[in-house]
Structure 1
Amino acid sequence: MPMGDQYTPGQPRTRPLEVLSLGLPRTGTRSMAAALEILGYQHCAHGFDLMDNPAYAVRWEQAVDAKYYGRGEAFTRKDWDELLGHCSATTDFPCAAFWRELCAAYPEAKVVLVQRDEDKWYTSFVEGVIDSQLSSSGKFVRDYVEPLLGSILGRLSLKITQSWLEAATADGMRANAKSAYRRHYKDVKAVVAKDRLLEYHLGTLL
């Protein structure tokens, strides 16, 4: 990844944030990120970025702790500019979990909302996110391997999922997933002005 496309602590914004793609994980977020970059939006934030830059993950954990756990100050536009200053677009978690904050901080940004059939999304999210994070292998990597590597990726990813779903156990997370999905899309549509919002359902033509 080019240096200009990576988070650097303390670096001011280097490009305007123009697009907030607020579809949830497992709604084609990686494909959306690739499409936005083909259209010229550089760099497009995605959850995979957390794997490449430990300092980026640490800064995101500060945002999560402030929002969901009351630890530290809520992020201001200055903080978001520092964290996402290398991005001209966003997709996926953790950004989608902070949609209210980002929409308020960047009122000039356009919003894209990608939806998927709820049942298909649920199956994919449970298998690809919840079950993966709470599996014995996921726990082993999170608790033993990542500390040796100086990584917080697993811990942060689980913290974001648990916080968004308002549940700590696998059963609780599964039970809350569909209502959290519905609430996310309902709230985004209620808050974002229609002339700022582009909706797309996976499997349909634009």
Structure 2
Amino acid sequence: MTLSLIGAGFGRTGTNSLKLALEQIGFGPCHHMVEVFINPKSAAHWQQALDGQPMDWEAVMAGYKSLVDWPGALFWRELWKASPKAKILLSVRDEESWFKSITNTIFVARSDPATHEDPVARDMARMVNELVDRAIGSTERDRDTVLAAYRKNIAEVKEEVQAEQLLVFDVKQGWAPLCEFLEVAVPDTPFPRTNSTDEFVARLNTRNAPKKP
């Protein structure tokens, strides 16, 4: 399936809410990092991309109509080249709010691949770590470095994508701009709101809780 919409925004910019919204208005299935966690073996595709190997993007995205969030958002240019008619959605949020969110979620969730006995989990941890390092452009996690990467991504997307093919979108804006951009009717239900920092941390704590004997 050729992608109709490609998300170019960083993780923690409302991408899970966007996934649900896109699937509700006919642009699903929508690929999101959650799909990689559901199918950990698919992390191998993204590791290959991180390693610079040639990619069959149509095969990787088979069955999906749209994509938001990392890992795919890191490769939005390559995906756009494979699906040149796709519209580009740049999800954004207040940068201070974003920095606080990513610091308390994704950065906390990073793990050392060597600590995983299961090879699939080990490969997943390696991929996620390399992905975040690549997105930030550094292994540093200080405020200035991280926010500089966030701003750089926004500036590059705006510069490289023609205005008529691009929507810069904050989920706080709700349905109207998204539906107008995609030329679909506005649903009569509230815009999805999910995967808050508290929800992310709760899932992380559940995942890391000691297993009962």
Offset at residue 150 of structure 1 (A) = 2.8
Q: Partners in 2 of 1:41 and 1:34 — Cα distance? A: 10
Runs of 4 or more, structure 1, over 4 Å off, are: none
Offset at residue 21 of structure 1 (A) = 1.9
Aligned to 2:38: 52
Contact map agreement 1:131 1:170 (CA 8 A) in 2: no
TM-score normalised to structure 1 length: 0.78
Q: Partners in 1 of 2:81 and 2:75 — Cα distance? A: 10
> Could you list the per-position Cα deviations for residues 96-117 of structure 1 after superposition, in whole angstroms to 9, with x for gaps in the alignment?
1112212222110011122100
Offset at residue 198 of structure 1 (A) = 1.5
Q: Partners in 1 of 2:136 and 2:18 — Cα distance? A: 23
Match of 1:93 among 30, 53, 70: 70
Aligned to 1:165: 136
What stretches of structure 2 of length at least 5 have no aligned partner?
Answer: 177-213
Q: Partners in 1 of 2:30 and 2:20 — Cα distance? A: 8
Q: Partners in 2 of 1:169 and 1:131 — Cα distance? A: 14
Q: Partners in 2 of 1:198 and 1:24 — Cα distance? A: 14
1:25–1:88 CA distance, 2 compared to 1 (3 A) = same
Q: Partners in 2 of 1:166 and 1:194 — Cα distance? A: 26
Aligned to 1:31: 17
> Could you list the per-position Cα deviations for residues 53-89 of structure 1 after superposition, in whole angstroms to 9, with x for gaps in the alignment?
23311111001111xxxxx33x3xxx00010112100
Is 1:103 the counterpart of 2:80? The answer is: yes
Offset at residue 167 of structure 1 (A) = 1.8
Secondary structure at 1:150's aligned position in 2?
A: helix
User: Taking every aligned residue pair, what percent have the same amino acid on both sides?
Assistant: 29
Q: Partners in 2 of 1:199 and 1:30 — Cα distance? A: 16
Is 1:84 the counterpart of 2:53? The answer is: no
Contact map agreement 2:36 2:43 (CA 8 A) in 1: yes
Match of 2:162 among 190, 193, 202: 193
Q: Partners in 2 of 1:131 and 1:106 — Cα distance? A: 34
Q: Partners in 2 of 1:131 and 1:31 — Cα distance? A: 21
Instruction: Report the RMSD for the aligned CA atoms in angstroms.
Output: 1.7
Offset at residue 143 of structure 1 (A) = 2.1
Counterpart of 2:132 in structure 1: which amino acid? T
Q: Partners in 1 of 2:19 and 2:126 — Cα distance? A: 24
Secondary structure at 2:107's aligned position in 1?
A: helix
Q: Partners in 2 of 1:202 and 1:54 — Cα distance? A: 28
Q: Partners in 2 of 1:23 and 1:170 — Cα distance? A: 18
What number of residue pairs does the alignment pair up? 174
Contact map agreement 2:7 2:76 (CA 8 A) in 1: no
Counterpart of 1:58 in structure 2: which amino acid? A
Aligned to 2:172: 203
1:109–1:33 CA distance, 2 compared to 1 (3 A) = same
Is 1:155 the counterpart of 2:126? The answer is: yes
